[in-house]
Amino acid sequence: MSNFEAFFDYIQKISGKLLSEDDKHLLTAHFKTRKLRKRQYFLQEGDVCKYIGFIVKGSARTFTVDEKGHEHILKLSVENWWLTDFESFYLLTPSRFNIEALEELEILQSTNAEIEEFLKKIPAFSAMSNVISQNNTIAAQKRMQAINYSAEERYEELVSNYPHFLQRFPQNMIASCLGLSSETLSRIKKNALK
Amino acid sequence: MSNFEAFFDYIQKISGKLLSEDDKHLLTAHFKTRKLRKRQYFLQEGDVCKYIGFIVKGSARTFTVDEKGHEHILKLSVENWWLTDFESFYLLTPSRFNIEALEELEILQSTNAEIEEFLKKIPAFSAMSNVISQNNTIAAQKRMQAINYSAEERYEELVSNYPHFLQRFPQNMIASCLGLSSETLSRIKKNALK
DNA sequence: TTGAAGTGGTGACTTAAATCAAGAAAACAC
DNA sequence: GTGTTTTCTTGATTTAAGTCACCACTTCAA
B1-52 pLDDT, tens digit each:
578 999 999 999 999 999 999 999 999 999 999 999 999 999 999 999 999 9
Same domain membership, residue A162 and residue A139: no
- Selection from A78, A82, A79 nearest residue A109 by Cα: A82
A80 touches strand C (CB under 7 A): no
Question: Quick check: B18 and B124 in contact, CB under 8 A?
Answer: yes
What's the pLDDT band for B111 if we cut at 50, 70, 90?
A: very high
Interface probe with B: pick from A97, A118, A147, most Cβ of B within 10 Å:
A147
Same domain membership, residue B92 and residue B123: yes
Sign (positive or negative) of CA dihedral A36, A39, A43, A44: negative
* B86, pLDDT greater than 60: yes
Buried-exposed string A41-73: b where 16+ CB fall within 10 A, e elsewhere:
ebbeeeeebebbbbbbebbbbbbbeeeeeeebb
How far A117 CA sits from the closest chain B CA (Å)? 15
Residues of A with CB under 8 A from a CB of B: 64, 66, 72, 74-75, 85-87, 90-91, 130, 133-134, 136-145, 147-148, 178-179
Same domain membership, residue B129 and residue B102: yes
Q: Which helix H or strand E contains A130, and what residues bound it? A: helix A123-145
CA-to-C1' span, B172 to C7 (A): 8
With CA of A187 and C1' of each nucleotide, the nearest comes out as D9
Q: Do A148 and B91 count as a contact with CB atoms less than 8 A apart?
A: no
Question: Quick check: A78 and A59 in contact, CB under 8 A?
Answer: yes
Q: Do A138 and B87 count as a contact with CB atoms less than 8 A apart?
A: yes
How far A1 CA sits from the closest chain B CA (Å)? 31
CA-to-C1' span, A186 to C24 (A): 14
Same domain membership, residue A182 and residue A100: no
Same domain membership, residue B137 and residue B194: no
Kindly calculate the radius of gyration of chain B based on its CA atoms and give it in whole angstroms: 18
Domain count, chain A: 2
CA-to-C1' span, A62 to D10 (A): 30
Same domain membership, residue A23 and residue A115: yes
Residue with minimal CA–C1' distance to C11 is B183
What positions of strand D are covered by protein, i.e. any atom < 7 Å from a CB?
A: 6-12, 16-21
Same domain membership, residue B100 and residue B87: yes
Please give the Cα distance from B29 to B31 (Å, whole number).
Answer: 6
CA-to-C1' span, A171 to D27 (A): 53
AA letter at A112: N
Taking only the tens place, the pLDDT of each residue in A45-99 is 999 999 999 999 999 999 999 888 899 999 999 999 999 999 999 999 999 999 9
B168 touches strand C (CB under 7 A): no
* B53, pLDDT greater than 90: yes
Q: What percentage of residues in chain A have a pLDDT greater than 70?
A: 98
The DSSP 8-state label assigned to residue B45 in this structure reads T
CA-to-C1' span, A96 to D3 (A): 38
Same domain membership, residue B111 and residue B26: yes
A167 touches strand C (CB under 7 A): no
Residues of B with CB under 8 A from a CB of A: 64, 66, 72, 74-75, 85-87, 90-91, 130, 133-134, 136-145, 147-148, 178-179
Chain A residues close to B90, C-beta within 8 Å: 134, 137-138
Q: Do B140 and A142 count as a contact with CB atoms less than 8 A apart?
A: no
CA-to-C1' span, B121 to D20 (A): 57
- Residue A170, Cβ density class (10 Å: 0-12 exposed, 13-18 middle, ≥19 buried): exposed
- Selection from B16, B10, B28 nearest residue B124 by Cα: B16
Out of B49-63, B66-80, B175-189, which region has the weakest mean confidence (pLDDT)?
Answer: B66-80
pTM of the model: 0.93
- Selection from A161, A43, A65, A106 nearest residue A174 by Cα: A161
With CA of A184 and C1' of each nucleotide, the nearest comes out as C17
Structure confidence at residue A123 (pLDDT): 97
Same domain membership, residue A155 and residue A109: no
H helical segments located in B40-150: 86-91, 112-121, 123-145
Residue in B with minimal Cα distance to A136: B137
What CATH number did the domain enclosing A59 receive? 2.60.120.10
Structural domain containing residue A80: 2-147
* B175, pLDDT greater than 70: yes
Same domain membership, residue A172 and residue A103: no
Taking only the tens place, the pLDDT of each residue in A103-157 is 999 999 999 999 999 999 999 999 999 999 999 999 999 999 889 999 999 999 9
Same domain membership, residue A155 and residue A143: no
Same domain membership, residue A83 and residue A51: yes
Q: Do B137 and A74 count as a contact with CB atoms less than 8 A apart?
A: no
